[in-house]
Structure 1
Amino acid sequence: MTLERDGSMKQVAMKTPRKLERRAFAGLAASLALAAAACSTNPYTGEQQFAAYDDAQLSQASAQAWQQLKSQTPTLSSGAQYQRVQRVWSRIAAASPKAGEQWDVSVFNSEEVNAFVMPGNRVGVYTGLLNLVENDDQLAAVLGHEVAHSIYRHANQRATRAAAASTAVQLGAAAAGSSNVGIGADQVNALGSVAANLGVVLPYSRNAELEADLAGVDYMVRARYDPRAAIRLWEVMQQNNSQRTADFLSTHPNPEVRQQRIREYIQQKGY
């Protein structure tokens, strides 16, 4: 109710949280429509995936970051550690659906315990990781995991999900900005970004990690490495890194969860 100049009371329509919810649902519907248009077929697995980007475009987009990393971090081009990575990698790559493709595999001379894959068949392995793994079988588990990320187009899927989440947040913020509810667009944008990150992007990343773990075990077996080394790998990783971010805020699953999933998968497949 509002007070008119003549002293009478007039009822006016006010935007309520329920109306804001309707606007938010409209934004969600729009983002779902975008999601339906973003499905494509994985050329390696034949699966329908939520991947909107052209793989060649992602490769081109990552090329600059790859070159920058190589220019800023010392790399090895010879020696025992370099040869070790190339030897294990050649067997894993040949046992994967990407057998015969060209790869750029770099060994970074850094104490960082890490390995990664980038769009465009680019793989990086740090000497810190090489010093941690106990044998070539564990290194094969790492490299099988990384090539699986590439085969399952996880970078593409994650980028697509992040873009869809961002679109939903922007639509919600626009709806809030046009309402008279005491929640500003900036607040909705900030809260929505957190919710999207926790609810969409990070859980997907954890699922992708588990998917890569299991596919990597398949490639290990085909390359004649011991799949049980994948279980031991995460025991070693857990011992090396006792301080972990809370699971629900981490892109990676708990090492104990990974060990159990890999153990069950090996038993299921009869490896």
Structure 2
Amino acid sequence: MRSWTKACCALAVIGLTACSASPTGRNQLLLFSSQDMTSLGDQSFSQMKQEVPINQDAKTNAYVQCVANAITRQIPKQSGFDNWEVVVFNSDEVNAFALPGGKIGVYSGLLKVAVNEDQLATVLGHEVSHVLANHSNERLSQTQLANVGMQITDVAIGSTQYAQYKEATMAALGLGVQYGVILPYGRSQESEADIVGLELMAKAGFDPKQSIELWKNMDKASGGGQPPELLSTHPSHNTRIKDLTAKIQSMPAFSTPRPNCGSA
């Protein structure tokens, strides 16, 4: 079969089977199954645990686990995995991530900026929302579509193909090839995760107003060095604060008891 015929067949399959909608109603292209994405998340997280130092402090781990548990209890059972795994990595990076397959990583440097449980819940709600909204699948699908000259149906995500497509898949998962480097999602995906994550943390009993304080802290931590919004894939801190403020004002009050996770 000629390459252009393969591409046409692939596009026909895409048009029939891959259209979906995000939690906010945004159109998405999803070419890969939840099992595919779970496999990628599992493999990536396993490698990270081998290559990045893991924090062994019992108090820190109990604190992060408590906040993560409060968030994930608000999430319906997901296809492809049963439980969320949480690991604290020793790194000065001010960041966290969540991967398909229920994997949550928190860098210890984040705890110096997200200074209380509400602010940590803001970050974890945001990162988990990337998984719930299939953002990794969406990015990997976009990468695959850009290379539609390849036979899409041949690109199964298994252990043998993982090495071949490692760079593309790690980028789609939000991870750099050099572990510890978090690559940004697109601006629309980031904004979507902000809104979905805010509602998630509020449902878990945390104070959504602390999301504003978190981004003020993030702004201070960046030293005002964030590039102009038009040159960045992330919304600016000011845009994020404005959007979160509007969401807080329109959000109903939730009756979930406030978690008591203490502090790191």
Report if aligned partners of 1:97, 1:151 keep a CA contact under 8 Å in 2.
no
Instruction: Tell me which stretches of 4 or more aligned residues in structure 1 moved more than 2 Å.
Output: 28-35, 37-49, 61-65, 96-101, 165-169, 244-251
Q: Which residue of the other structure, out of 202, 225, 230, is the alignment partner of 2:206? A: 225
- The Cα offsets for residues 164-194 of structure 1, whole Å up to 9 and x where unpaired, read as 233389xxxxxxxxxxxxxxxxxxxxxxxxx
Give the superposition deviation at 1:246: 4.3
TM-score in terms of structure 2 length: 0.71
Give the superposition deviation at 1:221: 1.4
Give the superposition deviation at 1:101: 3.6
Mapped pair 1:250 → 2:232? yes
Number of the residue aligned with 1:260: 242
Give the superposition deviation at 1:72: 1.3
2:147 counterpart SS class: helix
Structure 2: gaps spanning 5 or more residues = 1-6, 151-182, 254-264
Give the superposition deviation at 1:157: 1.0
2:212 counterpart SS class: helix
C-alpha spacing 1:256/1:269, structure 2 compared with 1 (3 Å): same
Q: Calculate the aligned-residue CA RMSD, in Å.
A: 3.4
Q: Which residue of the other structure, out of 6, 28, 47, is the alignment partner of 1:68? A: 47
Give the superposition deviation at 1:260: 0.7
Counterpart residue type for residue 102 of structure 2: N
Report if aligned partners of 1:42, 1:48 keep a CA contact under 8 Å in 2.
yes
Q: In 2, Cα distance between the equivalents of 1:206 and 1:31?
A: 28
Number of the residue aligned with 1:10: none
Q: In 1, Cα distance between the equivalents of 2:22 and 2:135?
A: 13
- The Cα offsets for residues 200-227 of structure 1, whole Å up to 9 and x where unpaired, read as xx99711111111111111111111000
Aligned residues with identical type, % of pairs: 35
Task: Work out which of the two has the higher radius of gyration on C-alpha atoms and give 1 or 2.
Answer: 1
Counterpart residue type for residue 234 of structure 2: H
Number of the residue aligned with 1:81: 60
Counterpart residue type for residue 219 of structure 1: L
Report which structure shows greater RCO (CA 8 Å, sep ≥6). 2
Q: In 2, Cα distance between the equivalents of 1:71 and 1:124?
A: 13
Counterpart residue type for residue 18 of structure 2: C
Aligned residues: 215
C-alpha spacing 1:247/1:30, structure 2 compared with 1 (3 Å): farther
C-alpha spacing 1:237/1:31, structure 2 compared with 1 (3 Å): farther
Mapped pair 1:207 → 2:200? no
Q: In 2, Cα distance between the equivalents of 1:62 and 1:210?
A: 22
Q: In 1, Cα distance between the equivalents of 2:13 and 2:215?
A: 37
Counterpart residue type for residue 241 of structure 2: Q
Give the superposition deviation at 1:131: 1.7
Structure whose residues are more often helix by fraction: 1
Number of the residue aligned with 1:194: none
Give the superposition deviation at 1:269: 1.9
Counterpart residue type for residue 237 of structure 1: M
Counterpart residue type for residue 243 of structure 2: R
Report if aligned partners of 2:96, 2:104 keep a CA contact under 8 Å in 1.
yes
TM-score in terms of structure 1 length: 0.69
